[in-house]
Amino acid sequence: MSNTTRRDLLKGGLAVTAGLAAGKSSAGIPDPLITQVQDWATYTGDGVDATPYGMPVEYESDVIRRNVPWLTADSISSINFTPVHALDGTITPQGCAFERHHSGAIDLPKEAYRLMINGLVDTPLVFTYDEIERFPRENHIYFCECAANTGMEWAGAQLNGAQFTHGMIHNMEYTGVPLRMFLNEVGADLSSQNWIYVEGADASSNGRSIPMDKALDDCLVAFKANGEALRKEHGYPVRLIVPGWEGNMWVKWLRRIEVIDMPVESREETSKYTDVLEDGVARKWTWVMDAKSIITSPSPQSPILHGHGPLVISGLAWSGHGKIVRVDISQDGGMNWKIARLGKQQGDSKALTRFYLDIEWNGDQMLLQSRAIDETGYVQPTKEQLRQIRGENSVYHNNCIQTWHISENGSVENVEVS
Amino acid sequence: MSNTTRRDLLKGGLAVTAGLAAGKSSAGIPDPLITQVQDWATYTGDGVDATPYGMPVEYESDVIRRNVPWLTADSISSINFTPVHALDGTITPQGCAFERHHSGAIDLPKEAYRLMINGLVDTPLVFTYDEIERFPRENHIYFCECAANTGMEWAGAQLNGAQFTHGMIHNMEYTGVPLRMFLNEVGADLSSQNWIYVEGADASSNGRSIPMDKALDDCLVAFKANGEALRKEHGYPVRLIVPGWEGNMWVKWLRRIEVIDMPVESREETSKYTDVLEDGVARKWTWVMDAKSIITSPSPQSPILHGHGPLVISGLAWSGHGKIVRVDISQDGGMNWKIARLGKQQGDSKALTRFYLDIEWNGDQMLLQSRAIDETGYVQPTKEQLRQIRGENSVYHNNCIQTWHISENGSVENVEVS
């Protein structure tokens, strides 16, 4: 790797820097940043009392969640998007992690928090926040993806930016208590044919039915993300984590869990969060988020600003079915593929994987695509393949291969190839 | 686990909650939070346009970095501490991650950033920020601990809180370029007897000598932490990562790397960051942070506020020599030990490991201690053992076992046992 790289780099953009060592900029102009004492070496900076809670540096103030007003009628039942185009690695800081609300983010103090578990149980119980903190805890890193992520792509290349096409995803380390411990605590009927119905404390309540086997498998009643308390907009003080399954089921401000013998068929699992096919028939119980990937840079909001030569292609891959085992990258719209370099998966199998491809860019146009393959052998489909099976009526579960067109000047556009 | 837990819990604090299901609080008083429609279910909350960059909820506004004014003459050459007592999991959010400056946090835009590599090299080169981003990247989770962390404990139990005794540590996922790639790029003389001298762009420059073998092993030229740009106070736009070694060597605002044939013996590795022994002789080149652990809860700032019954003991362990393989916990000042439950180590071997012990607390006093053991077989020493070898003159590399005294009312104090 480092041999290739070195050759590439000396041949490429970095050759110019040889001049800099002599105090010249790449344009050959004397560079005061090298020839003179740098400004910030002449005075002292901010003291440690300046930032009790640290914020991003002003120069990065454009790396924020953004919403698209025309997508929804009202911002209290809406979405904002993670700036995936500007992030790297795998962890999403809470401050950048997308929000999706059905009736706004509510203000719920720990002292007023209650979790009731009732239904097919020996002893219905209500837990305070302090009581939840007394159960054995676990930590897991999981991705959370909204079922509607990339939904606008069904109808074509409509949103010009990875933040908007793929930004309804985040990946955090959660601290919480396995849901099975609470179900044991109340003496729930744990038979496989049973379900749980989970509700939030917000006005929408956002109720969802979850099969008992999933509830007992890896669901987590979480109160911390990336080490600190959940943010208000992510369900403070307690939310449900449903690893690998659509974000709508990760109920925020978790208020009630009812053990039932059949699903409720609530609004959120009938008129919403079902996938209408070409013939009008709707697929329901489509919970798992299938293998998917996106090239985050270069992308429309992260164009190539440097010259020819070495180019780092960076992206994210994930699967609700388990580990990502391979990611392929095409520079020609899917005709030829190269195997990407996968970063170590930090944390659990249902977490984001970062991938890279280090190439030499000669200024030619590219149709960049990435294709994820998970441990089940499932291969991320093309948009065409997905439409053949699902039509174009759905807004959910679009995990198709995304195409970015790179022009000679390095600008990037969201396009379709057929 | 869940059987034990259930038995413990029903016997313990949660038995009272049976009453709550009938709409009564644990005191038997009707609880409007259960019997009536909850307030926040009657109105809509904040929209997604309210929080472009999310901040902690107001109720958690005490979970912040804090400094101890009397520790240092001036806040620009000082420390603030990570609120480890209030965090869980392993990842440290950047906003909570401790700061240590020698001349304050400087304001250095990417456009003005330069990295010069010179000395025993074929071609001295200066790299701009954009050029650094064109090298192949890696992602790793590593802890960063200041050599002076726990330093006040040499002289006794002086600071009453895990944030102040052990808060000069954080653990983040870094995105960056292996240092060896830059050394290859300039054609450095990579012989084992050589060193590199690294400098920051701040007024202190904080120069340190690093042996070539470490430079080639796992050092990283990093520009992102937990996915987003480094914060100003953590070295924006570029800092050096030296996994497992003392934080002072993780040079922020990295300006220059010189390849040399002997160490510089700079201020920061002679009069500072050396360990003065009882006889006045100083140990130098004590770079690696030895195995260490701390119980973060309960702790002086995180007392036991609930009654008897189930109690979660939570803490952190780490080693600059590699993986943590075991953590023991004592409730009686080191006479008897139980093996703690280790969380999965998220990320690399030189990263924080979270541990737990779930006990039944009957209100007895406790002398709580934790003891880390790493993959080399090294066992974290007692304060007494450490003093016997190192005396009490040093302020650095204190990795002794910490003791918390838990009183019958659940309050916690920093104490010494002998």
Q: What is the CATH number of the domain that holds A312?
A: 2.60.40.650
- Counting one residue from A and one from B, how many pairs have CB atoms under 8 Å apart? 425
The shortest C-alpha distance from B211 to chain A (Å) reads: 20
B297 is a domain residue: yes
Specify whether B302 is located in the same domain as B165. Answer: no
Give pLDDT, residue B32.
Answer: 74
With contact defined as beta carbons under 8 Å apart, do A263 and A195 qualify? yes
DSSP-derived secondary structure letter, B302? B
Cis ω before A303 (30° cut-off from 0)? no
Domain end among A283, A300, A326: A283
With contact defined as beta carbons under 8 Å apart, do B368 and B378 qualify? no
The closest CB to that of A231, out of B57, B108, B227, belongs to B57
Give the global pTM. 0.94
CA angle B211–B214–B215, rounded 5-degree value = 85
pLDDT at A239 over 90: yes
Confirm or reject contact between A342 and chain B (CB < 8 A).
no
Q: Classify the phi-psi angles of B109: left when phi > 0, otherwise alpha if psi is within -120 to 50, otherwise beta.
A: beta
pLDDT tens per residue across span A247-270: 999 999 999 999 999 999 999 999
Specify whether A120 is located in the same domain as A249. Answer: yes
Give pLDDT, residue A409.
Answer: 97
Confirm or reject contact between B164 and chain A (CB < 8 A).
no
Confirm or reject contact between A44 and chain B (CB < 8 A).
yes
Give pLDDT, residue A2.
Answer: 35
pLDDT tens per residue across span B287-331: 999 999 999 999 999 999 999 999 999 999 999 999 999 999 999
A57 is a domain residue: no
A321 is a domain residue: yes
B203 with A41: Cβ contact below 8 A: yes
pLDDT at B18 over 80: no
Specify whether A153 is located in the same domain as A262. Answer: yes
pLDDT at A31 over 80: no
Write out residues 72-101 of B within 8 Å (CB-CB) of A: 74-76, 78-80, 86-97, 99-101
* Contacts with B76 (C-beta within 8 Å, 6 or more apart), sequence order: A44, A45, A46, A47, A48, B101, B103, B104
A54 with B141: Cβ contact below 8 A: no
Using CA atoms, how far apart are residues A16 and A5, in angstroms rounded to an integer? 16
Domain end among A283, A311, A335: A283
With contact defined as beta carbons under 8 Å apart, do A95 and B52 qualify? no
With contact defined as beta carbons under 8 Å apart, do A204 and A78 qualify? no
Q: How far does CA B287 lie from the centroid of its chain?
A: 16
Containing structural domain, residue B337: 292-415
The shortest C-alpha distance from A143 to chain B (Å) reads: 14
Confirm or reject contact between A112 and chain B (CB < 8 A).
yes
- The burial class, CB within 10 Å (0-12 / 13-18 / 19+), for B176 is buried
The closest CB to that of B46, out of A67, A104, A178, belongs to A104
Domain containing B115 — which CATH number? 3.90.420.10
pLDDT tens per residue across span B351-388: 999 999 999 999 999 999 999 999 999 999 999 999 99
Give pLDDT, residue B36.
Answer: 79
Say which range, A116-130, B5-19, B47-61, has the weakest mean pLDDT: B5-19
Using CA atoms, how far apart are residues B131 and B227, in angstroms rounded to an integer? 19
A23 is a domain residue: no
A256 is a domain residue: yes
Specify whether A220 is located in the same domain as A277. Answer: yes
Give pLDDT, residue A1.
Answer: 31
Confirm or reject contact between B119 and chain A (CB < 8 A).
no
Specify whether A398 is located in the same domain as A301. Answer: yes
Specify whether A296 is located in the same domain as A404. Answer: yes
Specify whether A263 is located in the same domain as A304. Answer: no
- Mean pLDDT, rounded, for A376-402: 95
- Mean pLDDT, rounded, for B380-409: 96
B76 is a domain residue: no
Q: Give the mean pLDDT of chain A.
A: 92
Confirm or reject contact between B354 and chain A (CB < 8 A).
yes
Instruction: Read off the tokens for B30.
Output: 């009707």
Confirm or reject contact between B160 and chain A (CB < 8 A).
no
Give pLDDT, residue A21.
Answer: 45
Instruction: Read off the tokens for B195.
Output: 């060193």
The shortest C-alpha distance from A299 to chain B (Å) reads: 15
Give pLDDT, residue A355.
Answer: 98
Q: What is the largest CA-CA distance in chain A?
A: 80
Q: Give the mean pLDDT of chain B.
A: 92
Nearest residue of B to residue A141 by CA position? B346
pLDDT tens per residue across span B112-168: 999 999 999 999 999 999 999 999 999 999 999 999 999 999 988 889 999 999 999
pLDDT at B219 over 50: yes
Specify whether A377 is located in the same domain as A265. Answer: no
Give the rounded percent of residues in chain A with a pLDDT score beyond 90. Answer: 85
B52 with A64: Cβ contact below 8 A: yes
- Mean pLDDT, rounded, for A299-323: 97
Write out residues 275-314 of A within 8 Å (CB-CB) of B: 305-306, 309-312, 314
Q: Which single residue is written with the structure tokens 């759905």? A: A394
Report the 10 Å Cβ neighbour count for A129.
17
pLDDT tens per residue across span B20-39: 444 554 555 567 777 778 88
pLDDT tens per residue across span B183-209: 999 999 999 999 999 999 999 999 999
B159 is a domain residue: yes
Specify whether A409 is located in the same domain as A308. Answer: yes
What phi and psi values does residue B406 have, to the nearest 5 degrees? -105, 120
Confirm or reject contact between A130 and chain B (CB < 8 A).
yes
Give pLDDT, residue A38.
Answer: 84
The closest CB to that of A231, out of B54, B96, B124, belongs to B54
Domain end among A262, A283, A304: A283
Query: Nearest CA to A137 among B97, B317, B350, B90?
Result: B90
Nearest residue of B to residue A6 by CA position? B185
Give the β-pairing of A138-145 and A282-283. Answer: unpaired
Give pLDDT, residue A15.
Answer: 37
pLDDT at B347 over 90: no
Specify whether B118 is located in the same domain as B258. Answer: yes
- Mean pLDDT, rounded, for B76-96: 97
Using CA atoms, how far apart are residues B273 and B290, in angstroms rounded to an integer? 15
B231 with A57: Cβ contact below 8 A: yes
Specify whether A271 is located in the same domain as A339. Answer: no
pLDDT at A3 over 70: no
A148 is a domain residue: yes
Instruction: State the pLDDT confidence band at B271, using cuts at 50, 70 and 90.
Output: very high
Number of structural domains found in chain A: 2
- Mean pLDDT, rounded, for B7-13: 38
Using CA atoms, how far apart are residues B139 and B141, in angstroms rounded to an integer? 7
A46 with B104: Cβ contact below 8 A: yes
pLDDT at A399 over 80: yes
Specify whether A274 is located in the same domain as A311. Answer: no
- Mean pLDDT, rounded, for B43-47: 93
Give pLDDT, residue A418.
Answer: 73
